[in-house]
Amino acid sequence: MTISNKMKNFLEQGSWIRRMFEDGIELKKKYGAENVYDLSLGNPIFSPPDELYDELRKLIDNPDKSAHRYMPNAGLDQTRSKVADFLTKTTNHHFELSNVLMTGGAGGALNVILKAILDPDDEVIMFTPFFPEYFFYTDNHAGISQIVDSDDKFIPDLDSFNKKINNKTKAVIINSPNNPSGVVYSEKFLIKMSEILNNYEKKFNREIFVISDEPYRRIVFDGLDCPNILDYYRNTIVASSFSKDLAIPGERIGYVALSPKINNQNLLMDGIVFANRILGFVNAPAFMQRAVSNILFSSVDVEEYLIRRNYLCDELEKLGYEFEKPQGAFYLFPKSPIEDDVKFTNLLKENKVLVVPGSGFGKKGYFRISFCVDWPSIEGSIEGFKKTIELIK
C-alpha cells in the first residue's frame, strides 16, 4: 500500500466538485469544448478589476529587491494594517494589525484556525449544505465533524443544532452567503444561534468559536444586507479570501481576522501564526499581499452575476425546476426532479451538462449549478436541462 488507508478512503469519497470538473475535461476531448456546458466548478470567468493590474504594473516597474524575501509568518505589517482598516470601515468593530493574519486563501485560513484551536476529538459543527472540504479540514487537525441539517430554504435547524452541542464542541463553521445554496443567513437566525452558543459557553465554561467563512460576503444581490456575525457573537473568527470578489482564486491570498472582543487575543493569534508556519504555509504570497493591499475596496462587477442568476432562474422555472432564488454568491441549488441526485446529475451529463450533486454538499436531493461561467455555457446548457427533465416526466 503506497498511501494510507485513510487517504485511500478519502480519495474514494473524494470531492464531487473536482470529479465533475475532471469528467468535463474528458467530455470536452470527446465532443469538443463548445459542445459541453460545464457548470460544475466555482471558478470565476471574469478578469480581476483593472485596479489589480495597475497595482501589479507598479510593483513590476518599481522593483524592491527585498520584496521577495522571508517575512513574519503573520504577513506584511503594511498589508495587515490595511486589511484591519478595511474591516474597521466595513463593520461596526475596530480592528488592529494584531487582529489580522494573511493566509494562503480561505482554505489556508480555515486550516490554521482549526490547527490552533482543536484538541484531538474536539467537535466542529457545520450546517448543510456545506463546502465539502470542511469535513477534510476538520479531520486534518484530529477534529470530529458534526452535521446539522437545514430546511428546504437552507436555513439550519436550530433545534437540532441545540442538541448537537456538548462539552467537546469547539467550533461552528458558518458560510454566508452560502456555497452551494446562495442563502444569506438573517439577523434573526444569527442572533438565535449566538444565544444558544452563549448559553453553552456558560454551561461548559468553555470557549466555542464561530468560524465565519466569508469569500462571498461582497457578492450579494437585490440590495440585500448581509448581516455580520461579529455583531452578535464575541468568539468569532473570520476566514476570508480575495478569490471571489477580485476573481483571483489561483493566487491563493486571504486572511484570518479575530474579533476584537475575543479574550486572550494575543495567545490565540500566536497559536494561529505558529500554525501558519508549521503547516508549511510559512506566510501568504508576498507579491499578492502587496498587490491587494491598495485595492481592498475594489471588486468584480456583481451585476454580471446578477444577470446570469436571473436568466438561469427564469429559464429553469419555465422548465419546471424548483429552487430558492440565491441571495448571494454565484450558485443555484435546485431540487433534483428525482430523489437520487447523483443519478439525475449523470443524466444531465449524458446531455453534456455538468453540475454537482447535492450529496457532495451534505444535502441529498439537490444539485449545484455554478453561474460564474461564460454566456455560451449558460445559454447552451438550457437545452440539456430541458431534455433531461422531459426524459423523467
Nearest to 9 by CA among 149, 139, 179, 141: 139
Q: Identify the structural domains of the chain with CATH numbers, from first to last.
A: 5-48+300-392 (3.90.1150.10), 64-292 (3.40.640.10)
Q: Residue ranges of the alpha helices (H) in the chain?
A: 5-13, 16-31, 50-61, 77-90, 105-117, 133-140, 158-164, 187-204, 265-278, 286-292, 302-319, 341-350, 375-392
Q: What is the pLDDT along the chain (393 residues), one digit of tens a residue?
A: 688 888 888 877 766 666 777 777 888 888 887 889 999 988 999 999 999 999 999 999 998 888 899 999 999 999 999 999 999 999 989 999 999 999 999 999 999 999 999 999 999 999 999 999 999 999 999 999 999 999 999 999 999 999 999 999 999 999 999 999 999 999 999 999 999 999 999 999 999 999 999 999 999 999 999 999 999 999 999 999 999 999 999 999 999 999 999 999 999 999 999 999 999 999 999 999 999 999 999 999 999 999 999 999 999 999 999 999 999 999 999 999 999 999 999 999 999 999 999 999 999 999 999 999 999 999 999 999 999 999 987
Using an 8 Å Cβ cutoff, are 82 and 89 in contact? no
Q: Which three cell numbers stand for residue 180?
A: 452551494
Separation CA 288–CA 15 (nearest Å) = 28
Separation CA 327–CA 198 (nearest Å) = 28
Question: What backbone phi and psi angles, to 5 degrees, belong to 3?
Answer: -130, 165
Question: Cis before residue 177, ω within 30 degrees of 0?
Answer: yes
Question: What backbone phi and psi angles, to 5 degrees, belong to 365?
Answer: 90, 10
Side chain identity at residue 116, one-letter code: A
| Assessment of whether the complete model's pTM goes beyond 0.85 | yes
Using an 8 Å Cβ cutoff, are 294 and 246 in contact? no
Count of Cβ atoms closer than 10 Å to residue 290 Cβ: 18
Separation CA 305–CA 28 (nearest Å) = 25
Count of Cβ atoms closer than 10 Å to residue 75 Cβ: 26
